[in-house]
Amino acid sequence: MKRLTGLIASLLLTIFLYSPPMPAAEAFEVTDIRVEGLQRISAGTVFNYLPVRIGQRIAPGDTAGIIRELYKTGFFKDVRLERDGGELIVFVRERPAIAKIDISGNDSMETDQLLLSLKDIGLSEGRVLNRFILDRIEQELRRLFFNLGKYGVEVKTTVTPLERNRVAVGIEIREGVTARIKKINIVGNQAVEDEDLLEEFELSPSNFLSFISKNDQYSRQKLSGDLEKLRSYYLDRGFINFKINSTQVSITPNKQDIYITINIAEGDVYRIREIKLTGDLVVEPEKFYPLIHLERGTEFSRKAVLGSSERISSMLSDVGYAFANVNNIPDIDEETKQVDITFFVDPGKRVYVRRINMSGNNETRDEVLRREMRQMEAAWFSAVAVKESKKRLQRLNYFEQVNIETPAVPNSTDQVDVNVKVTEKPAGQIGAGIGYSQSQGALFNANISENNFLGTGKRIHAALNTSSANRTYSLGYTNPYYTIDGISRGFSLSYKKTNFEEVDTARYLIDAFVAGVTFGIPTSANDRLIFELELDATTFKLDNDASTELRDFQDDNGKDYLSLRPTLSWSHDSRDSALMPTEGGYQRVSGSFSIPGSDLEYFRVEYSNKYYIPLSKSFTLALRGDVGYGDSYGSTTELPPWENFFGGGRKTVRGFKDFSLGPRDSNNDPLGGNLRLVGNLEILFPAPFKLMEKTVRLGLFVDAGNVYDISDGNFDLGELRYSTGFSGFWLSPFGAFGISFGIPLNDKSDDDTEIFQFAFGSAF
């Protein structure tokens, strides 16, 4: 305030001192204008702001206004006018330019973020220093740190002169400790307990998980959201007249503890007496009532009423009434504490689609986009079909962005166009990567793929993957629209060489050449049937000290096999993300068998289910179940060893070494079995650091599972192994990196345990 008062006094003194120098108390005509004292600012800039032009007459009373206009630019700290005959001379002293901004002490916020906020209020390198802004700097920085709960923050600014009329601005920040919410008091609630109400809040007093969720840090925005949740809680339970009378937020003198008090008036509970439907019912009334999720005699619920209105609007928009409006009108009876709900339907005009226009697809053919559209031209407009069309276009993964607009056709009240605008991204990829896995050692992969070959939507790929245990070469081609109905067809060719001894299992090696054809049949937006037929040529090679079980299998079944193997699978995917899902699920059932007459006759059936339940904004409950069973039939004596199921390790039961669970051979090496049971429960949450919350995910887990050989009736659920621990996943720029610290809970003396497990270069 003292600085501001001084600057105002200086400005008034300057106007007073330098207005009179116009020599004669008489007006004169300006024949020329000259500016003196400029260093960085151009004369043209001054002329733009100068309210005087050549040929204009100036009276003595005009000088104060001229000086005032130049001061208002903020460029000058001193302005003076003189006259030399008909020439007007403008003397100026420029304000210094900001050469450097140094910020120190900001531990909780990045310097770049602070500089961006300061730039918005007029402070950045290269700009002219305006001392009025220094006070705003302190206010802005306090506001930013208050949002982080740093209510004891202190900000000190210094200005250091430099050569050539420049200055360095130093900003020293002392953040202080973060204030935490000590208690949230709700006053006036009679019908509902405090605990039930506080469960709805995002804000919370400090607890043992607050260091992750940050829910004990006060924020005005968060409190506003919690108050709206509180209001919704009551309105959804019949308290129509519920009110929030006041809200007080107080902080202790040491600025470390925050107390929040919310005063409410609950009112009475109202019940629904009548449900009415009126207006222009353009479809059969029978179609409306199933959408109204209300019952007579039940408590009034704003959520149920609004949901019913939205469902009716959605239904009408799906049959062409794009601009339907459904109003719910409550009629409250204060005496009986009952309410009548009337839904008034105003459908507007029925709308159909004139044209679907594509733009932005410079490489991708129109037909590739149009076959994904569920909204048709010349058909009634459907909001659901438009939304589904956008989702299908995004799933193609050809485009960075998909936007769909539905503007009305000019001079028409019953037509719209559907304008689809896409931003393409490179569909071809050439990549290589390295990684490391404890079970397979060093990993190397190289691949070339084109997901949108020549803009046709067809996919081709070639890949090489090697490790100490595996070497795989593969080629593939897929046409996702082999038929107009969306049935896909693909071909694949691969060679795989696997040394099972390198992964610490039984001592043998297989060489496998596989050629296959695949058909995919979509049955819904999230469901798909896949039929695959593979011709498999496998060579079974034994190590010199191979176990008795392996030698018996080779003696009974030979070492070179040719099999024809069909596979049928069904999958359902409703996850919101493939890498870091927070809700939805993925199910897959598959069954494969080698047809009778193959050198090996066997089958395998597998079921996998992953389900994600959001517990809060930050926490997700992940559930996973995995069951696999296989056996031989016909002349084959048992399930081939390389088709056995294995357990243990990061993808099944953590804390036990990869592939180590289950039956062992005569060499005491893991042999695998024909039945696998695995269950996982995990609580997932993002990293506590804001910069990494989208690429790092942490978890607390409990795993259970084992592998059995039940061909001889040997099955005991008591043999299930359990573990618990901590997991982490990082989607780094160099590839996925996963770790787990698993502690076995019931390991036996002959189990191979491994508390710390990790993999780099592949999904964990």
Please state the rounded mean pLDDT for residues 478-484: 89
Question: Is pLDDT at 15 greater than 60 in this prediction?
Answer: no
Inter-residue contact 44 to 99 (CB < 8 Å):
no
369's enclosing H/E stretch is helix 366-370
Please tell me whether residues 572 and 694 are part of one structural domain. yes
- In order, the DSSP letters of 278-305 are EE---S-GGGTGGG----TTSBP-HHHH
CB 153 within 8 A of CB 84: no
Residues 661 and 522 in one domain: yes
Angle formed at CA 116 by CA 111 and CA 119, multiple of 5 degrees: 125
The verdict on 455 and 324 lying in the same domain is no
Query: Using CA atoms, how far apart are residues 739 and 758, in angstroms rounded to an integer?
Result: 4
Residue 213's domain comprises 180-265
Q: Distance (Å, rounded) from C-alpha 289 to C-alpha 341?
A: 13
Least confident of 75-84, 125-134, 388-397, 523-532: 125-134
State yes or no: pLDDT of 311 exceeds 70. Answer: yes
Q: How far apart are CA 461 and CA 428, in angstroms?
A: 10
Paired with 111 in beta bridges are none
Handedness of CA 567, 570, 575, 581 (dihedral sign): negative
Reply yes or no on whether the pLDDT at 170 is more than 50: yes
- Of 107-111, 281-285, 434-438, 441-445, least confident by mean pLDDT is 434-438
Q: How far apart are CA 663 and CA 708, in angstroms?
A: 6
In 3D, which of 413, 239, 270 has the Cα closest to residue 335?
A: 270
Residue 723 pLDDT: 96
Interval 224-245 mean pLDDT: 92
What total number of domains does the chain contain? 6
78, 94, 110 - which closes a domain: 94
Q: Does the pLDDT at position 495 exceed 70?
A: yes
Of 432, 443, 433, nearest in space to 758 by CA: 443
Which of 181-190, 220-229, 376-385, 467-476 has the least mean pLDDT? 467-476
CA distance 106 to 173: 6
Which pLDDT belongs to residue 20? 44
CATH number of 483's domain: 2.40.160.50
280 lies in the same domain as 257: no
- With CA atoms as reference, report the closest residue to 339 among 311, 301, 307: 301
**C-alpha distance across the termini of the chain, in Å:** 59
Average pLDDT (721-732) is 90
- What would the mean pLDDT of 446-457 be, rounded to a whole number? 79
Q: What is the mean pLDDT of residues 408-423?
A: 90
The verdict on 88 and 101 lying in the same domain is no
For residues 480 and 577, membership in a common domain is answered with: yes
pLDDT at 602: 96
DSSP assigned state of 19: S
Helix, strand, coil content of the chain in percent (nearest 5): 20, 45, 35
Q: Do 282 and 302 share a domain, yes or no? A: yes
pLDDT, the chain, mean: 85
Answer whether residue 92 shows pLDDT above 80. yes
Q: How confident is the model at residue 446, as a pLDDT?
A: 67
Q: Do residues 369 and 420 touch, judged by C-beta distance below 8 A?
A: yes
Which alpha helices (DSSP H) does 236-339 contain, by range?
A: 302-318
State which of 218, 242, 265 marks the end of a domain.
265
Stated as kind and residue range, the H or E segment containing 549 is: helix 548-557
Angle ∠(570,572,574) on CA atoms, nearest 5:
170
pLDDT band at 16 (very low <50, low <70, confident <90, very high): very low
Where does the pLDDT of residue 21 fall: very low under 50, low under 70, confident under 90, or very high at 90 and above? very low
Among candidate residues 303, 331, 346, the one where a domain is terminated: 346
Residue 2 — pLDDT band, cuts 50, 70, 90? very low
Is residue 699 very low, low, confident or very high in pLDDT (cuts 50, 70, 90)? very high
280 & 241 share domain: no
The tally of CA atoms less than 13 A away on the side-chain side of residue 69 is 15
Residues in the chain: 764
Q: In this structure, are 90 and 101 located in the same domain? A: no
What is the model's pLDDT at position 13?
45
CA 22 to chain centre: 67
**Residue whose C-alpha is closest to residue 638's, from 607, 665, 669, 678:** 665
- pLDDT band for position 741 (cuts 50, 70, 90): very high
Q: In the predicted model, is pLDDT for residue 18 greater than 60? A: no
Complete edge-to-edge strand list for the sheet that includes strand 257-265: 180-187, 257-265, 243-251
| pTM of this structure | 0.58
Q: Are residues 80 and 218 in the same domain?
A: no
Angle between helices 302-318 and 383-395 (to 10 degrees): 80
- What are the tokens at 474? 């593969």
Q: Which residue in this structure is represented by tokens 């509970």?
A: 269
Q: Which of 668, 625, 676, 669 is nearest to 646 (CA)?
A: 676
Query: Which residue spans within 553-708 are E strands per DSSP?
Result: 560-573, 584-593, 602-614, 620-632, 675-686, 696-708
pLDDT value for 251 = 87
Contact between residue 267 and residue 254 where contact means Cβ atoms under 8 Å apart? no
pLDDT band, residue 538 (cuts 50/70/90): very high
Element at 139 (helix H, strand E): helix 132-146
* C-alpha angle 128-132-133 in degrees, rounded to nearest 5: 65
Same domain for 157 and 186? no
> Which pLDDT score, from 0 to 100, does residue 153 have?
83
pLDDT tens by residue, 172-209:
888 887 788 889 999 999 988 888 898 889 888 887 76
| 135-139, 153-157, 544-548: range with lowest mean pLDDT | 135-139
CATH number at residue 339: 3.10.20.310
User: Residue 35's pLDDT band (boundaries 50, 70, 90)?
Assistant: confident
The closest alpha carbon to 398, from 372, 417, 377, 376, belongs to 372
Sign of the Cα pseudo-torsion (161, 167, 171, 172, in order): negative
Per-residue model confidence (pLDDT) at position 9: 47
Same domain, 576 and 533: yes
Label the pairing between strands 415-424 and 352-359.
Answer: parallel
Q: Does the pLDDT value for residue 24 go beyond 70?
A: no
